[in-house]
């Protein structure tokens, strides 16, 4: 009888310890999940322009920036004078200033000065139109970039959500803020 009771008590202790180990393992998994919520993440970019012919050209050697605010909001605080066309919105006005810096120097300088404090991270595309931002704190950002291709200009101002780990986005004419 003593042996039987000993085996029953041992079995109950074994089950109890096993359950405790499993509960602790689940707690660790939950705490690990919580740690990834505010984790740092990278952003890979692939940028290309789609032409009417169907041809796609990579956006090579172009600098892109992650901003902590919407480019529209940044430019609205820049006190831009309507030296270009008064009927254009701020993003288009800025795109014109980038395209024709020699003609619209005041708008260009004021815009760039207003943007600089909002740059969280920057990267430049390679010859295939690919780039990767270094890891940043997870959250919402605005991806800004500008390129000229022949007589055309394209400006991106996209809201991107960066989560822990690797994130990616493809840029083309279809998701540009301005293309002319």
Strands (E), 93-129: 119-124
Task: State the pLDDT at residue 90.
Answer: 85
Please give the model's pTM, rounded to 2 decimal places.
Answer: 0.75
Does 38-179 carry CATH code 3.40.640.10?
Answer: no
Residue 104 CA to residue 5 CA, distance in Å, equals 92
What tens digit of pLDDT does each residue of 100-145 get?
A: 998 888 889 999 999 999 999 999 999 999 999 999 999 999 999 9
Torsion of CA 126, 68, 162, 140, to 10 degrees: -140
Tell me the β-bridge partners of 165: 41
What tens digit of pLDDT does each residue of 7-38 get?
A: 343 433 333 333 333 434 433 333 333 444 56
Where b means 16+ CB within 10 Å and e means fewer, 126-145 reads: eeebbbebebbebeebbbbb
């Amino acid at each position: 009888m003593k042996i039987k009771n000993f085996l029953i008590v041992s079995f109950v202790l074994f089950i109890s310890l096993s359950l405790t180990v499993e509960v602790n393992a689940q707690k660790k998994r939950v705490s690990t999940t919580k740690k990834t919520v505010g984790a740092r993440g990278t952003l890979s970019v692939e940028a290309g322009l789609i032409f009417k012919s169907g041809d796609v050209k990579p956006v090579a050697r172009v600098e892109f920036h992650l901003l902590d605010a919407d480019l529209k909001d940044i430019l609205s605080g820049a006190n831009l004078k309507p030296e270009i066309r008064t009927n254009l919105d701020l993003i288009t006005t800025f795109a014109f200033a980038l395209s024709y810096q020699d003609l619209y120097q005041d708008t260009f300088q004021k815009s760039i000065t207003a943007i600089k404090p909002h740059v969280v991270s920057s990267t430049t595309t390679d010859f295939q139109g690919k780039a990767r931002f270094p890891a940043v704190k997870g959250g919402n950002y605005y991806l800004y970039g500008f390129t000229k291709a022949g007589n055309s200009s394209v400006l991106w101002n996209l809201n991107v959500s960066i989560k822990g780990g690797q994130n990616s986005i493809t840029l083309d004419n279809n998701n540009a803020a301005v293309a002319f």
